[in-house]
């Protein structure tokens, strides 16, 4: 194919992307979801721009762009969602390492190094998280671009270290990448979705060692395998390539994991019967505009159908199942009282449901940073905080309702990152459907307790945070209920990835997990991370099953992300060494 033909293909791709963008706009005006359209929009844009940058005018050809593109493809298709082949992650960085050698030989500046890294990670983010755009075009673009920029920082640190201390350059890349991933769990702009260790979530039998290291241990393994693969690939042709040692190192954790998976026996403990309800309300245009009574009828209908098969210890409803709940006096809320009346004597002991509510501060009571002031009819102001919360109701007794307030929020939609510094962006955040005030929370991850069990009420985004998740277990949780609303992303990879991440939490804590999702996917997951049963997307249905309780504590629950802490220490030491060497040479 000629040089000019490739450029014509590039222009054709850009034209296709414009057509896709126009189609998305029309679907938006008709209140229709986009599905996979954002993926095709971004890929055609990326492909067109990359081809034009690679095949320049007057016959100029820049082959280095192909290396960064190949890394983006390997990482993107290795992450669960499009292809079920996570082993691509084990070689995903090899083209970039090869490229770095070429850039070093060419004495490329930091600008070129940056753009190659950004290009690779941009494609990675597009392939793995294109679905975020279904929540909003601006939100999707920001998530993809911002995360790609952040991923470029370890790549730049790798290049910097290769110039200052080349012997430890690959170590610098690994520990800086792990530090970046750990940062993404623990700052205001948290987005740890693409943690490399999450890439094997679809295959829990391969990562049973996460009970010791957590998902970041998986990231360290992925990075180590990439280094070994690179060293094998670049070994001199005249020297024998010792492939067996890297292969053995790569496969050893997998073999051990498979043995652990096959021989794991859950500690002796009680079991509980649970019914998970999937009401199937489309969240963009239906769920928050439907009549409350019709939604209640759907919940009661599905619950009673589930109870016809026999009594259960717990009914579980999804995140934000009911709106406008005042939590100051839960027992008096009409919605909850109707639920209690409709389920009374039907065979369910407890109901755990997600709610969207608010707490009213008493006069003189200390307010939280999430406080909002709402005018009353008489002109005075009432102080309150909005909540994304979970409630446990005793359907067969007189015990008081229990409340849990969500603790990790989606940046932009539920919280405003770096609020003190970016106060001038308040109007823009409000237009995206978010809020500067954020939502109220609580300091401790307390389980819902009863004589039957202690259950961790994990709300949506919280299930992505491994070390944070262990707080529930330290407080005594014996099993996990994940309540979520994953319909924001349409029937794409997002809700499936979120489901698979719950398998990792099951392994890390050795706790059984039940998911209740608004539109999908509800599931029962055992202590090995195996999905025992699940629903389909986009159906109103219930799912029944049993969960085994567990009181044992795993090493990861006990010690947390030790891998990340070691990486942070080494990162600090390496970067300080780089600074010192730079100062000495000046």
User: What is d(CA 149, CA 572) in angstroms, rounded to the nearest whole number?
Assistant: 20
Contact 277, 315 (CB under 8 A): yes
pLDDT tens-place string over residues 396-413? 988 999 999 999 998 877
pLDDT band at 59 (very low <50, low <70, confident <90, very high): confident
pLDDT averaged over every residue in the chain: 92
Q: Is the pLDDT of residue 1 over 80?
A: no
Per DSSP bridges, beta strands 454-459 and 479-484 are parallel
The dihedral region occupied by 58, where left means phi > 0, alpha psi between -120 and 50, and beta the remainder, is left
Q: What percent of the chain has pLDDT over 90?
A: 78
User: What is the token pair recorded at 353?
Assistant: 């449901």
pLDDT band at 416 (very low <50, low <70, confident <90, very high): confident
Q: Flag the least confident range among 22-26, 418-422, 478-482, 513-517.
A: 418-422
Q: Is the pLDDT of residue 434 over 60?
A: no
Instruction: Note the pLDDT of residue 431.
Output: 52
Instruction: Note the pLDDT of residue 415.
Output: 80
Q: Is 12 exposed, middle or buried (0-12, 13-18, 19+ CB in 10 A)?
A: middle
pLDDT tens-place string over residues 565-585? 999 999 999 999 999 988 876
Long-range contacts of 109-116 (CB under 8 A, 24+ apart): 110/156, 110/159, 113/155, 113/156, 113/159, 114/152, 114/155, 114/156, 116/64, 116/65, 116/67, 116/68
Q: Is the pLDDT of residue 134 over 50?
A: yes
Please give the helix or strand (H or E) that residue 473 lies within, else none.
helix 466-474
pLDDT tens-place string over residues 436-477? 678 999 999 999 999 999 999 999 999 999 999 999 999 999
pLDDT tens-place string over residues 146-179? 999 999 999 999 999 999 999 999 999 999 999 9
- pTM across the whole model: 0.94
Instruction: Note the pLDDT of residue 56.
Output: 82
pLDDT tens-place string over residues 218-270? 999 999 999 999 988 887 765 655 656 777 777 889 999 999 999 999 988 89
């Amino acid at each position: 194919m000629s040089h000019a033909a490739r450029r014509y293909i590039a222009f054709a791709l850009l034209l296709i992307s414009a057509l896709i963008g126009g189609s998305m706009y029309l679907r938006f005006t008709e209140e229709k979801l986009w599905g996979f359209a954002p993926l095709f929009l971004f890929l055609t844009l990326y492909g067109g721009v990359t081809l034009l940058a690679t095949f320049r005018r007057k016959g100029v050809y820049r082959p280095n762009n192909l290396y960064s593109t190949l890394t983006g493809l390997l990482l993107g298709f290795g992450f669960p969602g499009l292809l079920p082949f996570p082993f691509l992650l084990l070689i995903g960085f090899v083209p970039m390492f090869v490229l770095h050698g070429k850039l070093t030989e060419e004495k490329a500046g930091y600008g070129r190094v940056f753009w190659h890294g950004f290009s690779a990670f941009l494609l990675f983010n597009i392939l793995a998280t294109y679905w975020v755009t279904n929540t909003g075009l601006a939100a999707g673009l920001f998530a993809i671009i911002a995360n790609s920029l952040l991923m470029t920082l370890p790549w730049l640190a790798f290049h910097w270290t290769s110039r200052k201390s080349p012997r430890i350059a690959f170590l610098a890349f690994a520990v800086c990448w792990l530090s970046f991933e750990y940062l993404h769990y623990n700052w205001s702009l948290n987005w740890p979705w693409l943690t490399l260790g999450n890439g094997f979530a679809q295959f829990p039998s391969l990562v049973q060692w996460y009970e010791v290291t957590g998902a970041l241990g998986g990231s360290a393994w992925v990075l180590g395998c990439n280094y070994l693969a690179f060293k094998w690939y670049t070994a001199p042709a005249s020297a024998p390539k010792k492939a067996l040692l890297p292969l053995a190192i790569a496969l050893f954790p997998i073999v051990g994991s498979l043995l652990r998976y096959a021989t794991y026996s859950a500690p002796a403990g009680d079991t509980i019967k649970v019914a998970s309800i999937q009401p199937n309300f489309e969240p963009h245009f239906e769920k928050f505009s439907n009549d409350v009574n019709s939604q209640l009828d759907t919940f009661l209908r599905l619950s009673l159908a589930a109870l016809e098969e026999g009594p259960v210890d717990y009914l579980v409803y999804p995140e934000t199942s009911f709106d406008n709940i005042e939590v100051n006096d839960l027992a008096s809320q009409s919605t909850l009282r109707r639920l209690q009346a409709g389920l009374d004597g039907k065979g369910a002991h407890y109901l755990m449901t997600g709610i969207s509510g608010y707490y009213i501060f008493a006069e003189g009571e200390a307010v939280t940073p999430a406080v909002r002031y709402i005018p009353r009819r008489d002109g005075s102001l009432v102080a309150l905080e909005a909540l994304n919360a979970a409630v446990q109701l005793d359907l067969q007794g007189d015990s008081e309702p229990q409340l849990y307030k969500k603790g990790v929020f989606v940046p932009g939609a539920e919280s405003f990152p770096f609020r003190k510094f970016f106060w001038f962006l308040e109007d823009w955040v409000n237009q995206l459907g978010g809020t500067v005030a954020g939502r109220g929370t609580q300091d401790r991850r307390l389980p819902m307790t009863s004589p039957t069990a202690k259950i961790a009420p994990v709300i949506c985004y919280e299930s992505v945070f491994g070390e944070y998740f262990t707080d529930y277990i330290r407080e005594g949780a014996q099993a996990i209920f994940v309540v979520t609303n994953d319909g924001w992303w349409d029937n794409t990879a997002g809700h499936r990835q979120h489901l698979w991440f719950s398998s990792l939490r099951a392994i890390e804590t050795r706790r059984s997990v039940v998911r209740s999702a608004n539109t999908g996917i509800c599931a029962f997951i055992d202590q090995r991370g195996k999905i025992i049963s699940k629903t389909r997307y986009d159906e109103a249905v219930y799912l029944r099953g049993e969960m085994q309780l567990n009181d044992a504590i795993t090493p990861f629950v006990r010690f947390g992300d030790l891998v990340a802490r070691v990486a942070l220490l080494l990162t600090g030491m390496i970067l300080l060494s780089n600074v010192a060497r730079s100062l000495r040479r000046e």
